[in-house]
């Protein structure tokens, strides 16, 4: 039999492609993948043939995904964007307009489930596009759509560089261990900018603060009106004082570029005021002890009631037929995603709440916490399976995740750009496998203060643990998934709150502020309504929490002393 002239060439090319796919390294395998036309192999093994600009997939091209589907059409900055056709392995197709990798309906809204019964590949060009992204000069594309070009140390931005965010913001300056650190300029998408000094991601270059001077620099800072500069130049307050503390009307300028103007009491925001952020966001409403309370004036609270002894709480907890089982995860320092600032702290706060009587007073064997390097894919899944399998038929199991997320998944610390994703589908399977009657998943999955203690009347002691388990037992069985933002939104972190915005209001709600009907029981629906309203208000509707699942809105998630 005579073989075609190009038979061996084809075999060699196929073998080479299989070899390259098995190495799973993002690379250009043919042509000009910087500013031209070429063939690019994704880290996952998917293959793109088409146009490039500045090292990114951009223009007209076709991608062959690992699930057998293809996309043919227009691309922008590594995503399908413009007109295109998606074809599944079985031949079904959808043709229309795309944006950031998602198809749009006739109203320009993203279609979340194009083929509901199919799991569609959402691979994106990522990894080191050019140069040395470990310890030199290079360009690194992150799976969430952001990109960094500059100097690296140990695989993280370190030195001079440019970071481009998915919303169009851009920072040009120096970095240290993945965070803005040193001199730089932040260019916002609305054409405003902030130039100055940065430290561990915080903006320090506020010209309102006179560095080198501290204390009362003008007027009467004891019982009158004056100007006070805080230690190390972190802030400057101008306004009225009482007993040496800001009290009355005043304005404070923070070194990170934020400022607050409004009412004060005992040295904290108390009353009506506005917090101005460097990106132009304004948060106006009522504040209490430095925390944003919303647009309605908060009610005065009574002194905290005396609490039961720890021994009493332990006895009550052991006597209950119900138990709560929890896995808490917080990840801030990724290798293949931008560094986050507050996610690990948020996880510790949630852990502390669940150990408290208001959160169920969980014993050590009922709760597992995984932070940063401990939060690998294997440890997360095995911890969930182990802890949740211990639950009885009347118990509650809970997963809290604070870290990066992509569409349809959360990202463990060992996410490598395409693999080791914690798919929502997998989480649901683990939850479904648990014999527990109640299942709750709360996620502050980022692309992302003080707690107001609600109290009983003085002298009245309530058995808060008994209330927790008694009211939980009255709810119908179900699973609730509360997520910090929609799939096409970013979960925001706030330097003013020193937390993720979602987790800040989540924990405040759990502590009692979500108790809308005043019955001292926080239900899952009350919690979501409180978080949803406050997150939307604080972020000016840039972040919208969502709740999904089949659940009883009366399911108890916290109680109030």
User: How do residues 218-239 score in pLDDT, each as one tens digit?
Assistant: 899 999 999 988 865 667 889 9
Q: DSSP label at 49?
A: E
CA distance 21 to 55: 20
Q: Compare 291 and 493 and report the one with higher pLDDT.
A: 291
The token duo for 76 is 């922008």
* Average pLDDT of the residues in 233-253: 87
Taking the alpha carbons at both ends of the chain, their separation in whole angstroms is 87
* Lowest pLDDT segment from 55-59, 92-96, 271-275, 463-467: 463-467
* Average pLDDT of the residues in 282-302: 72
Indicate the SS3 state at residue 131: strand
pLDDT recorded at residue 8:
40
For the chain, which residues make up each domain, given as ranges? 127-203, 215-255+258-294, 310-559
Neighbouring C-beta atoms of residue 459, cutoff 10 Å:
8
Q: What percent of the chain has pLDDT over 90?
A: 27
Residue 283 predicted with pLDDT over 70:
yes
Residue 65 predicted with pLDDT over 70:
yes
CATH classification of 310-559 is 3.40.50.1460, yes or no? yes
* Lowest pLDDT segment from 370-374, 474-478, 512-516, 545-549: 474-478
pLDDT recorded at residue 534:
81
Residue 490 predicted with pLDDT over 70:
no
Burial level of 131, CB count in 10 A (0-12/13-18/19+)? middle
CA distance 127 to 26: 6
pLDDT recorded at residue 449:
24
Residue 459 predicted with pLDDT over 60:
no
Residue 246 predicted with pLDDT over 60:
yes
Looking at the chain, how many residues does it have?
A: 561
- Cβ–Cβ under 8 Å, residues 40 and 55: no
Burial 328-349 (b: 16+ CB within 10 A, else e): bbbbbbbebbbbbbbbbbbbeb
pLDDT recorded at residue 387:
94
CA distance 481 to 22: 36
pLDDT recorded at residue 192:
73
* Average pLDDT of the residues in 259-277: 86
pLDDT recorded at residue 121:
61
pLDDT-based confidence at 160, cuts 50/70/90?
very high
| Beta-bridge mates of residue 186 | 171, 194
pLDDT recorded at residue 485:
58
Residue 282 predicted with pLDDT over 50:
yes
pLDDT-based confidence at 61, cuts 50/70/90?
very high
CATH topology of domain 127-203: 2.20.110
* Average pLDDT of the residues in 20-32: 67
| Beta-bridge mates of residue 523 | 556
* Average pLDDT of the residues in 303-330: 58
Residue 15 predicted with pLDDT over 90:
no
pLDDT-based confidence at 26, cuts 50/70/90?
low
Q: Name the strand (E) or helix (H) holding 525.
A: helix 524-538
Burial 482-496 (b: 16+ CB within 10 A, else e): bbbbeebbbbbbbbb
User: How do residues 382-438 score in pLDDT, each as one tens digit?
Assistant: 999 999 999 888 888 889 998 888 877 889 999 988 888 888 778 888 988 999 888
Strands 546-548 and 170-176, sheet pairing: unpaired
Q: Compare 266 and 213 and report the one with higher pLDDT.
A: 266
pLDDT recorded at residue 358:
73
């Amino acid at each position: 039999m005579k073989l075609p002239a190009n038979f061996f060439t084809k075999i060699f090319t196929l073998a080479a492609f299989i070899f390259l796919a098995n190495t799973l390294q993002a690379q250009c395998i043919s042509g000009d993948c910087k500013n031209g036309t070429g063939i690019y192999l994704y880290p996952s093994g998917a293959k793109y043939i088409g146009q490039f600009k500045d090292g990114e997939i951009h223009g007209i091209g076709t991608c062959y995904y690992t699930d057998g589907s293809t996309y043919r059409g227009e691309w922008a900055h590594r995503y399908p964007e413009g007109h295109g056709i998606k074809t599944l392995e079985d031949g079904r197709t959808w043709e229309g307009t795309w944006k950031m990798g998602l198809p749009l309906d006739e109203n320009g809204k993203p279609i979340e489930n194009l083929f509901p019964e199919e799991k569609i590949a959402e691979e994106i060009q990522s990894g080191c596009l050019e140069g040395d992204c470990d310890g030199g000069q290079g360009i690194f594309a992150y799976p969430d759509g952001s990109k960094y070009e500059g100097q690296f140390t140990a695989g993280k931005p370190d030195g001079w560089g440019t970071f481009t965010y998915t919303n169009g913001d851009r920072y040009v300056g120096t970095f240290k261990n993945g965070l803005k650190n040193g001199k730089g300029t932040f260019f916002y998408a609305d054409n405003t900018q902030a130039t100055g000094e940065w430290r561990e991601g915080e903006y320090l270059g506020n010209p309102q603060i006179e560095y080198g001077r501290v204390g009362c620099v003008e007027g009467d800072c004891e019982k009158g009106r004056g100007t006070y500069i805080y230690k190390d130049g972190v802030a400057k307050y101008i306004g009225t004082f009482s007993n040496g503390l800001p009290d009355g009307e005043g304005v404070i300028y923070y070194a990170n570029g934020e400022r607050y103007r409004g009412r004060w009491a005992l040295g904290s925001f108390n009353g009506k005021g506005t917090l101005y952020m460097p990106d132009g966001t304004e948060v106006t409403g009522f504040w209490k002890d430095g925390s944003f309370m919303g647009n309605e004036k908060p009610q005065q609270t009574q002194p905290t009631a005396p609490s039961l002894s720890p021994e009493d709480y332990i006895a009550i907890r052991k006597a209950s037929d119900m138990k709560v089982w929890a896995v808490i995860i917080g990840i801030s320092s990724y290798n293949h995603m931008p560094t986050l600032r507050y996610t690990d702290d948020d996880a510790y706060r949630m852990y502390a709440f669940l150990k408290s009587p208001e959160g169920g007073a969980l014993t050590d064997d009922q709760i597992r916490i995984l932070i940063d390097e401990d939060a690998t894919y294997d440890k997360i899944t095995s911890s969930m399976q182990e802890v949740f399998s211990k639950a009885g038929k009347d118990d509650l199991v809970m997963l809290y995740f604070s870290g990066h997320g992509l569409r349809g998944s959360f990202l463990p610390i060992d996410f490598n750009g395409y693999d080791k994703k914690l798919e929502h589908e997998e989480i649901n399977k683990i939850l479904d496998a648990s014999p527990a009657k109640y299942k709750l998943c709360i996620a502050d999955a980022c692309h992302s203060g003080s707690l107001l203690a609600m109290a009983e009347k003085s002298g009245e002691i309530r058995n808060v643990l008994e209330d927790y388990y008694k009211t939980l037992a009255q709810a119908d069985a179900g699973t609730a998934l509360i997520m910090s933002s929609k799939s096409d939104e970013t979960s925001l972190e706030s330097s003013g709150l020193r937390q993720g915005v979602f987790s800040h209001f989540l924990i405040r709600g759990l502590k009692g502020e979500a108790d809308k009907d005043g019955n001292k029981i926080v239900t899952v629906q009350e919690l979501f309504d409180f978080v949803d309203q406050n997150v939307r208000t604080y972020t000016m509707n840039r972040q919208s929490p969502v709740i999904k699942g089949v659940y009883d809105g009366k399911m108890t998630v916290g109680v109030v002393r």
